[in-house]
Structure 1
Amino acid sequence: MNMTAERAEQTYLTTEELAGRIKYDARTIRERLKDSVLLEGRHYIRPFGGRKILYIWEVIREDMARSPSDSIGIPMASGGLCRG
């Protein structure tokens, strides 16, 4: 599958839409998960270089299903992961 077809199959969600799917408050996503667990370029994008954030549902769903031992990184006290 080429990269254009792969991107066309991705589902982009706003913070509020993602909050509804994963049962987290939108504020928690913005303040605690974004940039610690949800990473720009992997879990979300800023289309056209703007301020709006769109989350990539398929990547988030896949990462949520992984067991913690599948993740590569150092656990941080804040609950995030250091991916050094």
Structure 2
Amino acid sequence: MSASNQCRRCLLQEMTDENDYYQSVVRYRAALPAKKRTPDAAYAARLAFCKACDALNAGTCMQCGCYVEMRAARLDMHCPKEGQW
């Protein structure tokens, strides 16, 4: 996808042009200590919520500016929309 044709509701893992960014997410999540890493099922649930959220824009949360896959990876992080995850 070109910059003018970005997928608004996509995660980095789904954007082929952004694979270097997604590989950073994979390395970041793998480097997190187990006690700080969101378990796989919870991580998938968090990302599913983000995919359905109107604040997602090309892998970035427009509420806080984070890459949602990085924020969701940490057990101690929360969605900026109160009470979502």
- Please say whether Structure 1 and Structure 2 have the same fold, judged by a TM-score greater than 0.5: no
Q: Scaled by the length of structure 2, what TM-score is found?
A: 0.31
Higher RCO, 1 vs 2 (CA within 8 Å, ≥6 residues apart): 2
The normalised TM-score by structure 1 is: 0.31
| Structure of greater Rg | 1
Higher helix share: 2
